Structure 1
Amino acid sequence: MTSSAPGVDLHGRSPWSVLPPLCLGFFMIMVDTTIVNIAVPTLQDVFDADLVTVGWVNSAYLLTFAVLLLVTGRLGDRFGPRPVFVAGLVVFTAASLACGLAGSVEVLIAARAVQGVGGALMTPQTMAMITRVFPPQKRGAALGVWGSVAGVATITGPVLGGVIVETIGWEWIFYVNIPVGVVALWLSLTRLPALPTHARTFDVPGVVLSVVGLSLLVFGLQEGPSYGWGTIVGPVTVPLVVGAGALVSAAFLLWQRHRGDDALLPLRLFAHRNFSLANVAGAAVSFAMTGIFFPFTLYLQQVLGLSPLHAALVGLPGSLISGVVAPFAGRLSDRVAGKWVVATGFSVLAVSIGILATQVQPDVEVWRLVVPMLGFGVGTGLVFSPLGNLATTGLDQRTAGAGAGAFNTNRQVGGVIGSAVVVALLTSRLAVTMPAAARDAAAGLPAELRTPFVDGFRQAAAAGLGSAGGGFDLPAGVPAEVAEQLRAAAQSAAGAGFAAAAGQTLGFTVLVLLLGAACAFAMRGGRPQHAAPAPDRDVSAAVG
């Protein structure tokens, strides 16, 4: 039986006994980052809302999740990982119930924001507890399991969401968390140890600066298309909001430098080359995962006409492969340099999504989409498992906990920014591709109808994603034969325009994945080094 790290009393149990509740809770958190995407068209119909508004159902969750991770890491340091994790489980499960009961899109967005708070309370405690409970020589394998949960859950979200939406209703993508949360709560109370705590002061100015800066950035990027990248209200414009977010974020970094080791984000951690590069790579893969699923699931349903269930099944083989590859990748990173595992994963992801982007066409056979998604599953399994280990390997035990908190924060920030940028990019590309596709489709129409046809699509695309597929209203008094010709042309233009925009957006995520691959290749090589563990009090002082 594997022994635990020095200073940790598990009452004779293996440290592996702490993983079930941690992984169950973490699985729920990560599934909920992608499970909503497959239900977006359904939520638009149910709440009669445009796509940018429904996009905030996901962005609100990602935003509150990301901006609170540093703070909740400090809460775990002060009160212990176990009680903070349990509190997060309760908040997350209760918020899931509120999501399912929501009677309006505004209530749903608010409940999702609270759900993000619960996720933020739990996540730093999962990685911190693994770091503190497992001895160094087993930590890579344990973090590999933890990382594989993130990869498998993220790619499983759309599959599970499609099955649920198609069979029992959209509300159950949230209700399903309730029994899982109850089981995870029982396991937490019976298996998680009470670890030593360390009283620290909170960096209140740092909290305010980080929350305000990131909120301004995400709001500007997410809502920019709906305001035409211009005026929001009075003198407030989208560029002004984004610029203010960038300035406040810069002020946050300067303040963190001033605070030193007492900062929410101790900047001296980034003096370690592999740690810095692993953080960039983590942000890149989270950005890309969001960027891939949002346009792809919309394309499957709105262009190919697949049901939510059938759309989800396109990703199922990749999900299964990811689940097989991820545990092996975690163990492999304990035996060889993890940088090569991660670099291979990023390369496979970039190639797979590059191929997928070329196959996104209005009349493509579905199997041509499934094949690159298999490669996507392999790449996801290779990247997520060892990346957490790479982020903390090389840091001494006094900074391992703080490193875990920073890594989780930067990874989630990548997802938040990815969600906002992809919505903005897809919207902006539709404004170009929809009129272009309409011009091509109008070539076969009567001359007097071509200009109104193209103008209708241009106005629909400019009005936002939600109406982009509508395109053209039939004029009164049009003969039945011409009306049928117009309908066929409109359907062709809508499919071609959306497919082109989705393919271009996927192409952009390939560039982000190549950045992640470059970071992995640039890491220092060599076999994993297992330093002697420091006393638990030193680790606990750094957690968060």
Structure 2
Amino acid sequence: MSTRTTPADVPAAEERSRRTWVLAITSIASLLVVLDALVVATALTAIRTDLGASITDLEWTVNGYGLSFAVLLMTAAAAGDRWGRRRVFAAGVALFTLASLVCAVAPDVETLIAARVVQGAGAAFIMPLALALLSAAFPPALRPRALGVFGSVSGVAVPLGPLVGGAVVEGVSWPWIFWINVPLGVALLVLALTRVEESRGPDRTLDLPGLLLAGAGTFGLMWALVQGGSVGWAVAGLVAIGLFVAWQRRAAHPMLPLHLFRSRRFAAANVVIFFHWASAFGVLFFIAQFVQEALGYGPLAAGLALAPWGLTTVIVPQWVGRSVGRFGERPFIVAGLGLHSLAMVWIALVAHPAAGYAAIAAPLVLSGTGIAMCLPAVQSAVLTSVAPQFLGKASGAFSAMRQLGGAFGVAVLVVGFTAAGSYATPEEFSNGFTSAVLTGAGLAAAGALAGAVIPRKG
């Protein structure tokens, strides 16, 4: 018996194809953005040797990317609402690709740092618009599942970053960690312009005072964290954020409507992602070093040691995406961050040079499972708690909180590390590492408490 396609089936098939393309394009773009935040970590020694970089130069090779990324997120979301989300997303991909090319051919460390700052700016115009385009393409009933796939793809970059960096540095040379972005970026640009439909927010008036105050506030806070807790910059950032909030209350066309925070789901979920990424990013920073400094692994072996953690970020988010509609986001957020926190306590109890990698393998899987459970659930809580016209602005706020959380987590865990240990010997590093991961456990517990405030979906 033959099957015939009726005219009514054609639009449905076209719609499914369109959504599949949007999901693939936005997920791969987010993978590149997260990957490039981490891939440099295992290449720093080679960069220092090749370009004669100082330790300060190396810090800015990492921090320059995150600084411009965080500062421009809200601006990117507003620009997408004003000029078109696809157009701004495509511009971000183009800028990211061009900056990657400059990073790859950089003749000195100053050029590399400048290109990394521009690369972070391109990333800022990708991530919030990717979430907004994805949310606009999928109706609320299908959105959690799509976000689960999105979370799986972008989440795998967390453990993949050190692995790719180590493999490329040992197998070829460090510029190739940037060269690989170029063909991928060009392909994404072409596909975004041909396969993604344009969408805009209803309010196309740019809130220039809001953009300036939000950028100044984010810059002040990020700079304070990058500089190791500079009080002056932190105060300046908080003052600018206070002025931003005051301006948003009276602005005719606010870039971040404060009424969104009247939703307990939206407000609590933004607090959750701050602590989620603070703990996850800060812990990864030290675990990648622990297997090298304390256990004596090389860059590639260190990346492979994180592979069990990475497998969970591929599998778990898809299951969560399918289950959120039935159980709501709160159980996955609370249980996920609870598991991650317990895993960090477990690692703190057993981590020592004499114990070896086997002692931390099981809690690493537990930690990865918890982190992977939380991310798609908290994304769903944010993006299903706002009206469609506010998706771009909600995505910008969410992404900014995530980046601020990452910088905060590294800064706080560094304080915990230096209070108890140093790089002098493997034993001294283990002492500091224990303090750092316990700090990470506390941050995860704070995120779980915030998640408990999210109301049951229904």
Output the TM-score relative to the length of structure 1.
Answer: 0.77
Q: Which runs of 5+ in 2 are unaligned?
A: 6-11
- Counterpart in 1 of 2:421? 433
- Deviation string 1:254-305 (CA, Å, 9 cap, x unpaired) is 2223326x22222111110011111011111111122112222222223322
Report if the CA contact (8 A) 2:28-2:154 is conserved. Answer: no
- Counterpart in 2 of 1:520? 451
The farther-off stretch of 140-149 and 193-202 is 193-202
Tell me the distance in 2 between the aligned counterparts of 1:46 and 1:504.
34
Please state if 1:304 is matched with 2:235. Answer: no
Matched residue type, 1:93:
T
Tell me the distance in 2 between the aligned counterparts of 1:370 and 1:52.
33
Kindly state the Cα deviation for residue 498 of structure 1 after the two structures are TM-superposed: 1.8
- Counterpart in 2 of 1:440? none
Please state if 1:317 is matched with 2:308. Answer: yes
Please state if 1:157 is matched with 2:161. Answer: yes
Kindly state the Cα deviation for residue 518 of structure 1 after the two structures are TM-superposed: 0.9
Tell me the distance in 2 between the aligned counterparts of 1:501 and 1:51.
20
Q: Secondary structure at 2:385's aligned position in 1?
A: coil
- Counterpart in 2 of 1:511? 442
- Counterpart in 1 of 2:193? 189
Please state if 1:414 is matched with 2:372. Answer: no
- Deviation string 1:388-416 (CA, Å, 9 cap, x unpaired) is 11112233334344322221221222123
Please state if 1:392 is matched with 2:396. Answer: no
Tell me the distance in 2 between the aligned counterparts of 1:12 and 1:218.
40
Kindly state the Cα deviation for residue 185 of structure 1 after the two structures are TM-superposed: 1.9
Q: Identify if the C-alpha distance between structure 1 residues 417 and 107 changes in structure 2 by more than 3 Å, giving closer, same or farther.
A: farther
Within 5 Å, which residues of 2 pair with 1:88-237? Answer: 88-195=92-199, 198=202, 200-224=204-228
Please state if 1:22 is matched with 2:14. Answer: no
Please state if 1:272 is matched with 2:263. Answer: yes
Q: Identify if the C-alpha distance between structure 1 residues 14 and 101 changes in structure 2 by more than 3 Å, giving closer, same or farther.
A: closer
Q: Which residue of 228, 231, 245 corresponds with 2:237?
A: 245
Kindly state the Cα deviation for residue 313 of structure 1 after the two structures are TM-superposed: 0.8
Report if the CA contact (8 A) 2:67-2:223 is conserved. Answer: no
Report if the CA contact (8 A) 2:82-2:206 is conserved. Answer: no
Tell me the distance in 2 between the aligned counterparts of 1:369 and 1:42.
28
Tell me the distance in 2 between the aligned counterparts of 1:53 and 1:263.
38
Q: Percent identity?
A: 31
Tell me the distance in 2 between the aligned counterparts of 1:425 and 1:218.
19
Report if the CA contact (8 A) 1:21-1:185 is conserved. Answer: no
Q: Which residue of 333, 350, 354 corresponds with 1:359?
A: 350
Tell me the distance in 2 between the aligned counterparts of 1:155 and 1:87.
28
The farther-off stretch of 13-22 and 334-343 is 13-22
Q: Which residue of 325, 339, 343 corresponds with 1:348?
A: 339
Tell me the distance in 2 between the aligned counterparts of 1:223 and 1:394.
35
Kindly state the Cα deviation for residue 211 of structure 1 after the two structures are TM-superposed: 2.2
Q: Identify if the C-alpha distance between structure 1 residues 217 and 401 changes in structure 2 by more than 3 Å, giving closer, same or farther.
A: closer
Output the TM-score relative to the length of structure 2.
Answer: 0.91
Tell me the distance in 2 between the aligned counterparts of 1:511 and 1:52.
29
Report if the CA contact (8 A) 2:329-2:378 is conserved. Answer: yes
Report if the CA contact (8 A) 2:80-2:200 is conserved. Answer: no
Matched residue type, 2:43:
A
Kindly state the Cα deviation for residue 10 of structure 1 after the two structures are TM-superposed: 6.3
Q: Identify if the C-alpha distance between structure 1 residues 197 and 136 changes in structure 2 by more than 3 Å, giving closer, same or farther.
A: closer
Report if the CA contact (8 A) 2:135-2:383 is conserved. Answer: no
Tell me the distance in 2 between the aligned counterparts of 1:263 and 1:9.
38
- Counterpart in 1 of 2:9? none
Kindly state the Cα deviation for residue 82 of structure 1 after the two structures are TM-superposed: 1.4
- Counterpart in 2 of 1:68? 72
- Counterpart in 1 of 2:429? 498
Kindly state the Cα deviation for residue 50 of structure 1 after the two structures are TM-superposed: 4.6
Count, aligned residues: 448
- Deviation string 1:199-249 (CA, Å, 9 cap, x unpaired) is 62222222222222232333233224xxxx8xxxxxxxx432332222222
Tell me the distance in 1 between the aligned counterparts of 2:347 and 2:40.
22
Please state if 1:375 is matched with 2:366. Answer: yes
Q: Which residue of 275, 281, 291 corresponds with 2:282?
A: 291
The farther-off stretch of 22-31 and 204-213 is 204-213
Report if the CA contact (8 A) 1:10-1:193 is conserved. Answer: no
Q: Identify if the C-alpha distance between structure 1 residues 526 and 212 changes in structure 2 by more than 3 Å, giving closer, same or farther.
A: closer
Tell me the distance in 1 between the aligned counterparts of 2:287 and 2:51.
22
Please state if 1:336 is matched with 2:327. Answer: yes
For the pair shown, which has the larger CA radius of gyration, 1 or 2?
Answer: 1
Matched residue type, 1:289:
A
Q: Identify if the C-alpha distance between structure 1 residues 363 and 383 changes in structure 2 by more than 3 Å, giving closer, same or farther.
A: same
Kindly state the Cα deviation for residue 182 of structure 1 after the two structures are TM-superposed: 2.1
The farther-off stretch of 282-291 and 50-59 is 50-59
Report if the CA contact (8 A) 2:80-2:392 is conserved. Answer: no
Q: Which runs of 5+ in 1 are unaligned?
A: 2-7, 230-237, 435-467, 470-493, 528-544
Report if the CA contact (8 A) 2:222-2:404 is conserved. Answer: no
- Deviation string 1:495-542 (CA, Å, 9 cap, x unpaired) is 222221122112111111011111112211144xxxxxxxxxxxxxxx
Tell me the distance in 2 between the aligned counterparts of 1:51 and 1:334.
48
The farther-off stretch of 164-173 and 23-32 is 164-173
Q: Which residue of 247, 256, 261 corresponds with 1:255?
A: 247
Tell me the distance in 2 between the aligned counterparts of 1:44 and 1:302.
18
Report if the CA contact (8 A) 1:303-1:362 is conserved. Answer: yes
Matched residue type, 2:241:
S
Tell me the distance in 1 between the aligned counterparts of 2:74 and 2:377.
22
Q: Identify if the C-alpha distance between structure 1 residues 199 and 68 changes in structure 2 by more than 3 Å, giving closer, same or farther.
A: same
- Deviation string 1:452-500 (CA, Å, 9 cap, x unpaired) is xxxxxxxxxxxxxxxx54xxxxxxxxxxxxxxxxxxxxxxxx2222221
CA RMSD of aligned residues (A): 2.4
- Deviation string 1:93-140 (CA, Å, 9 cap, x unpaired) is 111111122233322221111011111111122111122221221111
The farther-off stretch of 90-99 and 10-19 is 10-19
Tell me the distance in 1 between the aligned counterparts of 2:168 and 2:186.
20
Report if the CA contact (8 A) 2:409-2:440 is conserved. Answer: no
Tell me the distance in 2 between the aligned counterparts of 1:12 and 1:29.
26
- Deviation string 1:288-336 (CA, Å, 9 cap, x unpaired) is 1221122222222233221100011111112112211111111111222
Tell me the distance in 1 between the aligned counterparts of 2:402 and 2:319.
22
Matched residue type, 2:118:
V
Kindly state the Cα deviation for residue 365 of structure 1 after the two structures are TM-superposed: 1.0
